[in-house]
A = this chain, B = another copy of it.
Amino acid sequence: MKVSIGIDIGGTGTKFGIVTLEGKVLYQGAIPTQTEAVFADYIHLLSNEIRKGLDQEKHELIGIGVGAPNANYHKGTIEHAPNLRWKGILPLAKTLEDEFDVPTVVTNDANAAAVGEMIFGGAKGMKDFIVITLGTGLGAGIVSNGQLVNGANGFAGELGHTTVTYGNGRFCGCGKRGCLETYVSATGIKRTIYKLLADYTEDSALRSVSFDELSPEMITKYALKGDIIAKQAFEYTGRILGTKLADTVIHTDPEAIFIFGGLSQAGDLIFNPVKEHLELNLMPVFKGRVRVISSQLQNQSAPIIGASSLIVDKLKKDEISIDVD
């Protein structure tokens, strides 16, 4: 049976899976990301863990797909990732190719999520769509003409760093101020709760919670109970995302925008204001034409399936047969 390996490298943990070309996870595992001081040692450790799941008689390994922070699709490298201990430019694809001797495709996690949505999720058959991932930050993967938009430097789709507020916006880890992800992300909505607690005098259960303790799940829970500050935080977050997405729609004219990740689990609390303010700000010709929907790859294995889908996508491009035996 033909299989690919999907790897999702995060700041703390690395997850991997052996996945069929139809998106079924046959085996999965995880290791901590940063125990090794030398990058090559980490890859060697990871490779040994992956081999435990590879059955040489049953599995024909076709390729490896990796979602990683600050990944350069064109070069197969991780470049200057602030949340990894290894500095500079890391030859990720090459090191994995040396271990497994199969083609390896590397991109950032939001791009991997977009390809996953296209190959295995709700974007099957779509040629123009966008996936927004709401995690610690805001990532995006843009697909146009059925292809992932990578850009000249491999950094296209970093929509978390479009600007919401010029001049005196919130400080962002990227060095700019007023970036979208400082408002719209797990961290962004926490900052908004604290802004609202500062601005208003309303009672709120969240007045007894420290910034470090506060989580999006907690904000969702209290919003559903009617906490006015928590509800207002979703309204504020959704309004900013919807408003900015109106500009994004004009760029690539997507058929749908998929929202993926923690905050999207809040359902109508976040989707309603996003849809309302997107429509309000759309150029008339686009009104009513763009669907905003939840990702259909919302489960624990989604990042692994997304990463593995990079190989299925590559095979399609290379026009190699992907018949499953």
Could you tell me which A residues sit within 8 Å of B by CB distance?
Answer: 126-129, 142, 144-145, 147, 149-159, 161-163, 166, 174-176, 179, 243, 246-248, 250-255, 281, 283-286, 289
Contact = CB atoms under 8 A, between A and B. Distances in A.
Nearest to A70: B285
The 8 A-B pairs at the shortest CB distance, nearest first, are namely A151-B253, A156-B253, A152-B255, A161-B283, A128-B152, A162-B247, A251-B251, A144-B149
Contacts of A166: 243, 281
A300 to B, nearest CB: 30
B163 A253 contact: no
Nearest to A144: B149
Given A144-B144, A166-B243, A243-B166, A254 B152 contact: yes
Contact of A145 (B128, B149, B162, B253): B149
Given A145-B150, A149-B253, A163-B243, 10 more contacts: A144-B145, A149-B252, A152-B254, A154-B253, A157-B253, A158-B250, A161-B283, A163-B281, A166-B281, A176-B284
Contacts of A284: 174-176
A86 B281 CA distance: 28
Contacts of A158: 250, 283, 285
A84 to B, nearest CB: 16
Nearest to A161: B283
Nearest to A166: B243
Copies in the complex: 2
Contacts of A126: 152
A27 B246 CA distance: 43
A129 B176 CA distance: 24
Contacts of A255: 152
B253 A251 contact: no
Given A176-B283, A251-B157, A151 B162 contact: no
A156 B142 contact: no
B144 A156 contact: yes
A153 B251 contact: no
Contacts of A145: 144-145, 147, 149-150
A155 B253 contact: yes
B285 A251 contact: no
A2 B241 CA distance: 50
A251 to B, nearest CB: 5
A129 B286 CA distance: 24
B247 A151 contact: no
A127 B283 CA distance: 28
Among A127, A147, A152, find the residue whose CB has the most chain B CB atoms closer than 10 A. A152
23 contacts: A126-B152, A127-B152, A128-B152, A142-B252, A144-B144, A144-B147, A145-B147, A149-B253, A150-B253, A152-B254, A152-B289, A153-B285, A154-B253, A156-B251, A156-B253, A158-B250, A158-B283, A159-B251, A162-B247, A174-B285, A176-B284, A247-B247, A251-B252
Given A281-B163, A283-B174, A153 B247 contact: no
A128 B151 CA distance: 6
